[in-house]
Amino acid sequence: MHISPLQIWLALAGAVLLLAVALHGVWVSRRHAPRQASNDNDNPAASSGEGVEPALDAAAFELSHFPLPLPEKKPLLDALIDVLASINLDNPVSGDAALAAMPPTRRVGSKPFAIEGYNESAQRWEVPVPGERYSAFQAGVQLANRSGALNDIEYSEFVIKTQAFCDAVNGTPEFPEMQEEVARARELDQFASEHDAQLGFVLRARHAAWSPGYVQQSAARLGFVAGAIPGRMVIAAATPGLPPVLGLSFDTQAALAEDPTQSAIRELTLSLDVPQVDSEEQPFERMREAALVLAASMDGLLIDHQGVPLSATALDEIAADLTLLYENLARRDLVAGSSLARRLFS
């Protein structure tokens, strides 16, 4: 059988075409595969960023750039946000007896309930502790929180719980007038509703998705550490026990997958609970900087929860609004990050 030059040329062209199709398929597959964390921390990010851990600008996010607040030391209860009932005693009561008389739950409806004792030797109000003696007590229930204002039913439950404690320690309670306190609760709740702010920035992958390891490694270079929930990372507060400065979250199911390297994450969320964090930590500035660094290094688009891109102008406007918010909270003696603000906005 005679094979013409044309047939040979067509056969070669077909083979080249098949090879090109196969190579294109491999390229597309790699392009759309979730980006993976790199084992080589010295490897700079490629311009495409595909499969390579980005070299984040850690110097731009040094904690030393952000002054840290001093820890606050205050009693738990405060007349500014609590209904207070004084409890007079005929004789001092031990901390052990007070603890034994405490109610099994420290809530009244959806509001925190607490009892403090006056420690004469230390000259302070405190949560009763064993081995100490107390000359007076006070019971308190929070006027408002993010669940709403204290209502008549909750106030009545507060009275019942306090009276039960008094009966156990031979104390005599003095309660404020219910309607006045409920009205005060409504006013405080209105103020809180108008001055609450929980910010969230969404970072969406422009092209290739990210694996959980890629997200974690990228965020870790900015100071984020693993949170208590899979798929959540935080920048911890300077003072142990305080709420985190910032949060970063992504799909929990992706974080729990048997093979996380095959999990495709297309967006993550940076969050800031404004009243919970001291403004001296500059949380919004750190949130903004983290968002921009991650967006640049991970090839992501920074948007709000409605999908609208966040421009520099929009971020400046948010910063200006937060400045006014901080000022209004401070005028009400509810400085962001203070114990009172953390309790009210919880």
**Each residue's pLDDT tens digit, 309-320:** 999 999 999 999
Give pLDDT, residue 248: 98
Tell me how long the chain is: 346
Continuous segment of H or E residues that includes residue 28: helix 5-32
For range 92-97, the mean pLDDT: 97
Give pLDDT, residue 38: 73
Give pLDDT, residue 235: 97
For range 178-199, the mean pLDDT: 98
* Cβ contact 270:287 at 8 Å: yes
**Each residue's pLDDT tens digit, 336-345:** 999 999 999 9
For range 286-297, the mean pLDDT: 97
Tell which CATH classification among 2.40.50.500, 3.30.1400.10, 1.10.1060.10, 3.40.50.300 matches the domain 58-65+197-344.
3.30.1400.10
Cα–Cα nearest to 97, from 166, 172, 162, 160 = 166
First to last CA, the chain: 87
Indicate the pTM of the whole model. 0.78
DSSP string, 266-299: -EEEEEEEGGGS-GGG-HHHHHHHHHHHHHHHTT
For range 287-311, the mean pLDDT: 96
Whether 113 shows a pLDDT value over 50: the answer reads yes
Give ranges for CATH 3.30.1400.10 in the chain: 58-65+197-344, 82-193
Distances (CA, A) of 44 to 189, 289, 335: 51, 20, 42
Give pLDDT, residue 6: 53
Whether 149 shows a pLDDT value over 60: the answer reads yes
The mean pLDDT of the chain is 86
**Each residue's pLDDT tens digit, 225-253:** 999 899 999 999 988 889 999 999 999 99
Give pLDDT, residue 69: 45
What is the CATH T-level fold of the domain 82-193, as seen in this structure? Cell Division Protein Zipa; Chain: A, (3.30.1400)
Kindly state the percentage of the chain with pLDDT values over 90. 73
* Cβ contact 149:188 at 8 Å: yes
d(C-alpha 5, C-alpha 219), whole Å? 60
